[in-house]
């Protein structure tokens, strides 16, 4: 009979996933002491660098007539991407960026008004 042993790294991953699940059930709790580090650990655990990803940052408040800046990053993709970043507001579209970007990663900041 073969003895089966669990892989310690798998156990750690399972424990983190279980902890993330339990933490999400208590979303109404305040972020104090132990809870904030656990949430950060959940975010780090869920960030798989082998999958394509992107980030887009824009100001939280956009002011009319003021030049604003949007920054975006695309990572870990295999083929060229055709990117269109468009702001839609009050039935008006403003193109922030449009173009093809080569793999495996691309970052850019664009001004818009």
Give 112's strand partners. Answer: 68
Q: What is the CB neighbour count within 10 angstroms for residue 62? A: 14
Residues 22-47 pLDDT 10s = 444 444 344 445 555 565 555 555 55
Q: 61 pLDDT exceeds 60?
A: yes
State mean pLDDT over 8-24. 42
For residue 36, CA distances in Å to 15, 76, 85, 113 come to 17, 28, 33, 37
* pTM value surpassing 0.75: no
Cα(83)–Cα(30) distance, rounded to whole angstroms? Answer: 39
DSSP string, 4-72: P---HHHHHHHHHHHHHHHHHHTTTS---TTHHHHHHHHHHHH--TTS-EEEEE--SSPPTTS-EEEEE
């Amino acid at each position: 009979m073969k003895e089966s042993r669990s892989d310690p790294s798998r156990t750690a991953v399972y424990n983190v996933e279980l902890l993330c699940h339990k933490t999400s059930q208590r979303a109404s709790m305040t972020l104090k002491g132990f809870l904030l580090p656990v949430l950060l650990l959940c975010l780090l655990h869920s960030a798989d660098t082998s999958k394509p990803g992107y980030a887009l940052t824009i100001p939280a408040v956009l002011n009319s007539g003021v030049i604003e800046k949007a920054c975006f990053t695309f990572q870990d993709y295999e083929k060229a991407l055709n990117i269109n970043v468009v702001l839609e507001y009050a039935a008006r579209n403003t193109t922030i960026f449009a173009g093809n970007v080569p793999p495996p990663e691309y970052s850019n900041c664009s001004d818009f008004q």
